Amino acid sequence: MANRCETCAVRHRSLCGALEQKEVERLSQISRRTTIPAGKAIVAEGDKAVFVANILSGTVKLTRSLEDGRRQIVGLQFPSDFLGRPFRTHWSVQAEAVSEVELCQFDRKQFEQMITDFPTLEQRLLARVLDELDRIREWLFIVGRKTAAERVASLLVMIADREHDAGCGSSLHETVVFDLPISRSEMADCLGLTIETVSRQMSQLTAQGAIDLRNSRSVHIPDLQRLRRIGGLAVDPAAI
Amino acid sequence: MANRCETCAVRHRSLCGALEQKEVERLSQISRRTTIPAGKAIVAEGDKAVFVANILSGTVKLTRSLEDGRRQIVGLQFPSDFLGRPFRTHWSVQAEAVSEVELCQFDRKQFEQMITDFPTLEQRLLARVLDELDRIREWLFIVGRKTAAERVASLLVMIADREHDAGCGSSLHETVVFDLPISRSEMADCLGLTIETVSRQMSQLTAQGAIDLRNSRSVHIPDLQRLRRIGGLAVDPAAI
DNA sequence: CGATTTATTTGACCTAGATCAACGACGCCG
DNA sequence: CGGCGTCGTTGATCTAGGTCAAATAAATCG
């Protein structure tokens, strides 16, 4: 049964924000909510692409891996992000629920039809994909050329930015507190490092006073600009 | 003055392949050809985005860099590829001509209008950006988790695929000969390695008989599948 | 609540690739 | 043709981060 989009937590931040009341209704008719428990794969590399989805809550990781166990997280997605690949028949990455995830799924074919019918939707999707491309290029740079310390700092800043995704600048030297959605092992897989190195760098950052861990998942950043500097990031938060 | 798209070398492979005769005419009216000499920057990180373009000939590298000289190539673009970022006011990467490059430029704003007016164009652009996203995710994986030998092999395969971009499978164990568009230093910047390591790995691959260098730029790959295997790539060429 | 399992931290040591340093091979120009 | 600058190769050494191992610390379960 169609769900009521008016009460959707990500109604305006997600793709659907592009749509008028009437259009949303049509979209809601092809949507279906699903909940995926933490740690479960949503789709595997090579799976047929039968759906696309908006993330309503939770965190999703996109990974590529080799048979020998090497693994790289190639995307982290948060509530209101779009998950999936219109106009492709198969998934090129594995998508896995990091925490429990709620999705608003659409049949891929029907969604493609919607895109074709509603240019505003397509335009918004395009803008999103382009943003994603920018972010992943930044990411490639980090993984390709930065030191372990810089990588860990950069990841923390990135997650901080996306968690309280007000993001946009506000004051310099701002304080941020948040829970890491991912484990040390997942941090390592984001950064092309090992768990041990990530852990050592977290300890190092703590020792420097750049972060403060109340427990291993709860991060307090007393001065975001400072952490940006440690990460070798532009001090001006890259405008989304 | 408008150029005649009918004679365009990349007319059908590029974005414009989506357009009807009449639409192409309109597009051609806002297009302008430029030639950029080898080694020259096309735009710098942070530049105002005044245009987007199709690449007619030559190779373009997209780079991010740090003040201390560390540099990462985050994209390599070939003829028929689309260069630029609609709906963004500034460039987030530097674009530089690797070889002499011919562009077919469009005013960004006008191009955005075209996108809005011609959904087929937008859809084709979307598909392209999604492809680019897939490729760069693969790339992130390579840089994050693969050994130097695997990285170099992967890069050669990737370039071989894109150079004679018939690409699509044909026979197994196929032979490929091509000229590297990029220097050792640029290969290193693609892979997050140093020149020396790239050079050593090229020598290693030559010693193994996996490649054959007639000169430092001219690569002969006697068995593409074998090189794929060395690079830890799926043997089935990832469908474009 | 104690037992067990799983995540994280820390330490000791090792290695892939970086760095430093020649050296050879082309092209270019006078 | 010979000097010179750039690019690529190769060798010797060093080091950031990996690997292996052990000690906490936190979560799960009966």
B137 to A93: CB separation less than 8 angstroms, yes or no: yes
Residue A82 belongs to some domain of the structure: yes
Each residue's pLDDT tens digit, B104-161 = 999 999 999 999 999 999 999 999 999 999 999 999 999 999 999 999 999 999 999 9
Residues B93 and B202 in one domain: no
The residue behind tokens 């493609």 is A112
Phi and psi for A25 in degrees, rounded to 5?
-60, -45
Specify if A238 maps to a domain: no
CA distances from A133 to A176, A191, B168, B213 (A): 26, 17, 25, 34
Edge-first strand order for the sheet with A82-83 is: A31-36, A101-107, A51-57, A82-83
The verdict on A182 and A122 lying in the same domain is no
Exposed (0-12), middle (13-18) or buried (19+): which is A89, by Cβ within 10 Å?
A: exposed
Same domain, A108 and A153: no
Q: Would you say A179 and A218 are in contact if contact means Cβ atoms under 8 Å apart?
A: yes
DSSP letters along A172-237, please? TT--EEEE-SS-HHHHHHHHT--HHHHHHHHHHHHHHTS-EEEETTEEEES-HHHHHHHTT--SSP
- What is the tens place of the pLDDT at every residue in A33-55? 999 999 999 999 999 999 999 99
Instruction: Say which of B72, B129, B134 has its CB closest to residue A140.
Output: B72
A189 and A95 co-located in one domain: no
Whether residues B158 and B192 share a domain: the answer is: yes
- For residues A157 and A120, state if they share a domain: no
**Would you call B116 and A132 a contact, using CB atoms and an 8 Å cutoff?**
no
Q: Which of B61, B73, B137 to mutate to test the interface with A (most CBs of A within 10 A)?
A: B137
In tens, the pLDDT along A53-98 reads: 999 999 999 999 999 999 999 999 999 999 999 999 999 999 999 9
User: What CATH code is carried by the domain that includes residue A39?
Assistant: 2.60.120.10
Nearest CA in chain A to B119: A119
Q: Are residues A119 and A150 in the same domain?
A: no
User: Final residue of a domain: which of B128, B160, B175?
Assistant: B128
The CATH number that applies at residue B213 is: 1.10.10.10
Tokens (6 digits) for B137: 């995710």
The full length of chain A comes to: 240
In chain B, residues with a C-beta closer than 8 Å to the C-beta of A132 are 133
User: Is residue B119 located within the same domain as residue B199?
Assistant: no
Residues B108, B157 share a domain: no
C-alpha pair distances (Å), A124 with each of A7, A15, A156, B86, B203:
21, 6, 27, 12, 47
Please give the residue range of the domain that contains residue B92: 5-128
A110 within a domain of the structure (yes/no): yes
Residue A201 sits in the same domain as residue A118: no
3-state helix, strand, coil in chain B (%, to 5): 40, 25, 35
User: Any CB–CB contact under 8 A between B132 and chain A?
Assistant: yes
Residue A239 lies inside a defined structural domain of this protein: no
* One domain for residues B194 and B110: no
Number of domains making up chain A: 2
User: What is the C-alpha to C-alpha distance for residues B116 and B141, in angstroms, rounded to an integer?
Assistant: 34
Whether A10 has a pLDDT exceeding 50, the answer reads yes
Report yes or no: B141 at the A interface, CB cutoff 8 Å.
Answer: yes
Task: Tell whether A47 and A153 lie within a shared domain.
Answer: no
Alpha carbons A197 and B175: distance in angstroms, whole number:
42
Q: Maximum CA pair distance of chain A?
A: 55
